[in-house]
Amino acid sequence: MQARTELDRAIARALARFQSKSALNRSSLDDGPGFIALKKTRRVIKLSGGDARKLLQSLLTNDINEMFTSGGMNVNNNNNNNDDDDDNNEGVDLIESQQSMYAAMLTTKGRVVTDCFVYKWDQGEGRSDGEIYIDTCSSAKEELLRQIVRRKLRSAVTVDDCMDEVVVACAPPANGTSKSCTSALAADPRWFGLGKRGIVSAAKYAKKVAGNDDDDDENEIAYARWRHVNGVPEGSIELGDRFPAETRLTHLNAVSFTKGCYVGQEPTARAEFQGEVRKGIVPIVFDETKEVKINGTLISKRDEKEIGKVVASKGGGVGLALVRFAKVENVSEGVSIETVNNFGDDDDVEKKKTFIDCEFGTPHWWSHHQTKQYSKE
């Protein structure tokens, strides 16, 4: 039996924390471990009108039309609900099915502005088939709205802020003690191993998403660590100003290479078909009692040369780093990562830097094909 790696142990810790936080919001109807609400880092906007789909098709990297074809994507049917039993309907959302798709908005040069999740809700009470919901990060919401308003011109599109109407919810993957995740959510469209993700009615789940700021912060941290240990970046801060291939969005079902034109399509397609990606985001594992510096450097322990930078970390001994693959391949004596400390004079920058050992991990969703394509510099 193969020994557990540091990444395996970090995954187990992150999953346990995610499950613990989710259990507090478990529905009496669900066999799964419940969900957590991302109320601080994520925002939801709604597009309605006959031209909403066409507008998003020209703006986002994925093929929005696939959600409107037969079968759709990531469909979740709540067919086991008993309409005659009010008790059983407690905690069930106002929808009968939810289809989701992952995508990104790019600059004209093909760099990521932000990622987003697109949802189509069918047959819900008081909902229209023409309504499309977009879950995006809080820091990029205004930019996404600007781009939508700029492109809609006289199109039949109405844009609404749904902050008070719906909430982004995430549930951990099933394990040996629970046969499924919460019934209101569909599988995460990036990778099923992340669990389930969707948007739920804020009114219907008022009791389950209620909490103070400390609760909200803990939920956000638990989910961020779960993403980080699985090598999945999210939001404009972790993804922004990088190419989709560098952030592995091309392997997380965010990019369609068969659809028509969209903003940033040419450089994205060129990078894919040339097959060369010289740097990318990877998960890192380090001493969980330490705090690493965001944008701090990773260096080779042999020659102390920089091989990458920290992209994100919420503690717990895990984070994400952007590394150059050619330099990583030449590392023979391990890697050190810059930590946060409070000593040294402001004018003496070098003395303020401290480093600890860290390891790179290989997430389970990275296939051999996806890994071997990365080229040397």
CATH of residue 193's domain is 3.30.70.1400
Predicted confidence at residue 28, as pLDDT, reads 44
CA pair distance 340, 165, nearest whole angstrom: 39
Q: In whole angstroms, what is the distance from residue 202 CA to residue 164 CA? A: 7
Tokens in use for 348?
Answer: 């003496």
Which pLDDT does position 367 carry in this prediction? 55
Given 207, 236, 251, the domain boundary residue is: 251
Residues 210 and 296 in one domain: no
- 214 and 137 together in one domain: yes
CA torsion through residues 227, 186, 161, 37, sign? negative
Same domain, 227 and 321: no
> Using the 8-state DSSP alphabet, how is residue 18 labeled?
H
Whether residue 179 sits in one domain with residue 32: yes
Q: Give the pLDDT of residue 290.
A: 92
Q: What is the pLDDT of residue 342?
A: 54
* Pairwise CA distance, residues 236 & 73, whole Å: 24
Q: Are residues 11 and 101 in the same domain?
A: yes
Q: Note whether residue 267 is domain-resident.
A: no
Task: Give the pLDDT score at 164.
Answer: 81
254 and 115 in contact (C-beta within 8 Å)? yes
CATH code at 308?
2.40.30.110
Q: Do residues 288 and 325 both lie within one domain? A: yes
Domain with 346, as residue range(s), is 276-372
**Looking at the domain assignment, is residue 264 inside a domain?**
no
115 SS3 class: strand
Clarify whether residues 226 and 282 are in a common domain: no
How far out from the chain centre does Cα 359 lie? 22
pLDDT tens per residue across all 377 residues of the chain: 445 688 889 999 999 999 999 887 665 444 445 889 999 999 999 999 889 999 999 999 999 998 877 444 554 433 333 333 333 333 333 333 568 999 999 999 999 999 999 998 654 554 555 689 999 999 999 999 999 988 888 888 999 998 888 889 999 987 644 444 455 688 999 998 999 999 888 877 766 666 667 788 999 999 999 999 999 999 999 998 999 999 989 999 999 999 889 999 999 998 888 877 888 999 999 999 999 999 999 998 888 889 999 999 999 999 999 998 888 777 767 899 999 875 555 555 555 689 999 998 877 777 533 433 333 33
| Run of H or E residues at 19 | helix 6-23
Looking up tokens 């003690």, which residue turns up?
177
Is residue 158, in this structure, part of any structural domain at all?
A: yes
Which residues are 98's β-sheet partners? 76, 121
In a domain, 269, yes or no: no
**CA-angle at 188, arms to 185 and 191, nearest 5°:** 155
Claim to verify: residue 135 and residue 185 sit in the same structural domain: yes
Residue 219 and residue 299 in one domain: no
Q: Is the separation of the CB atoms in 310 and 293 below 8 Å?
A: yes
In a domain, residue 343? The reply is yes
Same domain as 342, residue 243: no
Whether 262 is covered by a domain: the verdict is: no
Domain count along the chain: 2
Q: Do 171 and 285 share a structural domain?
A: no
What is the pLDDT, as a whole number, of residue 195? Answer: 92
Residues in CB range of 47: below 8 A, 6 or more apart: 55, 56, 131, 132, 133, 134, 148, 157, 158, 159
Q: What is the pTM of this model?
A: 0.84
77 vs 70, 160, 185, 245, CA distance in Å?
15, 26, 9, 33
In a domain, 49, yes or no: yes
Is 263 a member of any domain?
no
Task: Report pLDDT for 134.
Answer: 95
Residues 235 and 329 grouped into a single domain: no
